[in-house]
Amino acid sequence: MHRALIPALLAAALAGPAVAQTPSAPAAPGAGAPPAQSQRGTAQGQTALPHAFLYGAWTGGIFPAPVTLSAQECLAAPTVIFTRDAVLRASPTDVTYQQRLVETVRAVPGGVEFRLSRPVQASTGGGAFGLGAGTPAPEPGFGCSSPDLLRVQKRGDDQIAFPNCSEFPYPLVRCPAR
């Protein structure tokens, strides 16, 4: 996915209809309804998805987050983007975002845990300006113990971390609103 499409993708994903994920834990009331119906937050008092607080663009993680950063600068090249159905991550040597679809998400103490599907598109190992060309593509993921599991630790309203993920040693901060 090219970086130029990110602002449009964010707007569409955050404003579009709710597409739900199946929970890891057994379903609660409304279990007879399809997952999209039982997980969608509604006016009738159903709860929001456990990862709803993550929706949007985040910067940092790979490197320390800048102290002063405008919304325009941050949204031009976020490090990680969370939507209802996907997690996208940037790479310092590639112009495309690595997209992982969310299979399940569950609340854990201090954050959430994602089980991610295999990558939508295979990485080629080639990067921007030919950097990395001819080298094998890295294992998709975030440098965590399992490429298909991502644990997100909430450190504050606008700060998260990926504990024990070598490719994201620093906390991430939410991109400011425009």
Answer whether residue 45 shows pLDDT above 70.
Answer: no
Answer whether residue 31 shows pLDDT above 50.
Answer: no
Q: What is the pLDDT of residue 133?
A: 55
Answer whether residue 158 shows pLDDT above 90.
Answer: yes
Answer whether residue 55 shows pLDDT above 90.
Answer: yes
pTM: 0.69
Q: What is the pLDDT of residue 151?
A: 97
Work out the pLDDT band at 8, boundaries 50, 70, 90.
Answer: low
Q: What is the pLDDT of residue 95?
A: 81
Q: What is the pLDDT of residue 2?
A: 53
Percent of the chain with pLDDT over 70: 63
* Least confident piece of the model among 3-7, 47-51, 59-63: 3-7
Pick the closest to residue 6 from 108, 79, 107, 114 (CA basis): 79
Pick the closest to residue 7 from 93, 89, 72 (CA basis): 72
Find the angle CA(125)-CA(146)-CA(1) to the nearest 5 degrees.
Answer: 40
Work out the pLDDT band at 86, boundaries 50, 70, 90.
Answer: very high
* Least confident piece of the model among 33-37, 85-89, 126-130, 169-173: 33-37
